[in-house]
Amino acid sequence: MTYRRFWVYFLLFLLNTISYTDRVNMSLAGHPIAEEFGLSPVALGYLFSSFLWAYVLMMLPGGRMIDGLGAHRVAAICATIWSVAQALTGAATGFVTMLLTRLGLGIGEAPVSPISYRSVRDWGPFTEHGTAIGAIQAGTLLGPALGAPLVAWLIASTSWRTSFYATGAIGLIWVLVWVTFVSTPEKTKWLPEAERKRILAERHATKDVPTKGGIGYRGLIRSPSMWGLAISQGCAVYSLYLYLSWLPNYLQTARGVSMVKSGLFTSVPFLVGAVMIIIVNWIGDSMLTPGTVRSGKRRIVVAACLVLAAGGMLIPYVQSLTLVVILTILPVAFSNTATATNAALTSDLLRSPADAGRAFAFLVLGGNLFGLLAPIVTGYIVEATGSFSSAFVLAGLLALLGAVLSLVLTRHTLGEAPSLAVEMAPSAG
């Protein structure tokens, strides 16, 4: 049996790596940008968060586009938009023009996660969905892990503007490779016929799956499981964006670390997380059967990851910089692992492939409604208290809330009434 589909996973991994390198670029450049433009912590928080405003607004339309045009087409369109916007950030002349380019980044990056999740559902047997999503989403951690020190070095060696030009160009190179080689499993010519047949036969956990119609956004909104998935995703993403946006600044201002060292220290929890996200989801796939997949047992893994992510609350209470870096591994690694596992759980519970793009968009929307608040709320907390302590505690409490909601709400199939889902999967309790 061949594994040519892994090349698609690898390109999606690179897509996520590039997108998060572009995001952490602003975090690392925040200090020199604030100095050049005279920005307060609150203004800087709004700038960190601004791309998420457009990101959130475009999420549901992006899900509809994926279901209508196909994930492969939307990936090329959106990566082009955000890469151009990233490059233009380097030409910004002030707060307003930079804000506009960050909104462009948000428009382009909005469908990245739904594209990845839908592509795995289309390209992979259900027995590898969790591992594939974990490997692809490892790019969201590897991007900051490798990108943070490289971007920090680039800023220190040249200027913050050059760093945006360089990262924007990398995204455009990815688009060229993607449109040259990737379509759908049905149409991709370099895919061996035996592998194509296996993908088409095994990509759903059950055989009697409706391929047309679906329940649409109206049906998803009425599903308690969809709300449990979306809110627990939000609790995880809040932690992720707190550390993605503010960790370099925290290390530089509160712990007295230099620009280059802050990039190196920031890379540690993201690098560990990139490994952890694959291992945890591989273990999850290995332990699950078709029956436990359909009944949503993967929610136990989601909840466990969120409990571990809450460990970031301890950061304000340690003095050693080494312990600070070690403790940041918990929220960074496990909040991101929770989001990947939640995506696999969404795929487990989804009744119709026709709703896949919308369900994943709803999931990511829930995550990023919380995520866009994290940089802003943190900015206000730092402005009001002169400290990051309350910000870390708030993120930890939200992670614990997400764990509870995941266990309580994500118990029924998406696309069926709860009573029917229980009858079909009595082990869901």
Which DSSP string do the residues of 206-240 spell out, in sequence order? SS----S---HHHHHHT-HHHHHHHHHHHHHHHHH
Alpha carbons 195 and 192: distance in angstroms, whole number: 5
pTM of the model: 0.68
Domain boundaries, the chain: 5-428
* Alpha helices in 158-204, H assignment, sequence order: 160-181, 193-202
Spatial separation of the C-alpha atoms in residues 422 and 407, rounded to whole Å: 15
Query: What pLDDT was estimated at residue 183?
Result: 87
113 Cβ contact list (under 8 Å, min separation 6): 16, 137, 343, 360, 363, 364
Q: Encoding tokens for residue 123? A: 């390209």
Neighbour-count burial of 23, counting CB atoms closer than 10 A to its CB (0-12 exposed, 13-18 middle, 19+ buried)? buried
Look at the block and give the residue holding tokens 């428009």.
107
User: Which amino acid, residue 417?
Assistant: A
Please list, residue by residue across 309-341, b when 16 or more beta carbons sit within 10 angstroms of its beta carbon and e when fewer do: bbbbbebbeeeeeeebbbbbbbbbbbbbbbbbb
Torsion angle of the four alpha carbons 405, 407, 409, 411, in this order, in degrees rounded to the nearest 10: 160
> Which helix (H) or strand (E) segment is 262 a member of?
helix 259-287
What's the rounded Cα separation, in Å, for the pair 288 and 71? 27
Predicted confidence pLDDT, tens digits, the chain (429 residues): 688 888 999 999 999 999 988 887 887 888 889 888 888 878 887 887 787 788 878 877 887 788 788 888 999 999 999 999 999 999 998 889 999 999 999 899 888 888 988 898 888 887 787 788 888 888 877 887 777 788 888 988 998 999 999 999 999 999 999 999 998 888 888 988 888 888 888 776 555 445 555 667 777 888 888 889 999 999 999 998 888 778 888 888 888 888 777 777 878 888 888 888 888 878 877 777 777 767 778 899 899 999 999 999 999 888 888 888 889 899 988 998 898 888 888 888 887 777 777 888 888 888 878 877 888 888 889 889 888 889 999 999 999 999 999 999 887 777 654 444 443 343 333
Quick one: pLDDT at residue 421? 40
Which overall architecture, per CATH, does domain 5-428 show?
Answer: Up-down Bundle (1.20)
SS3 414: strand
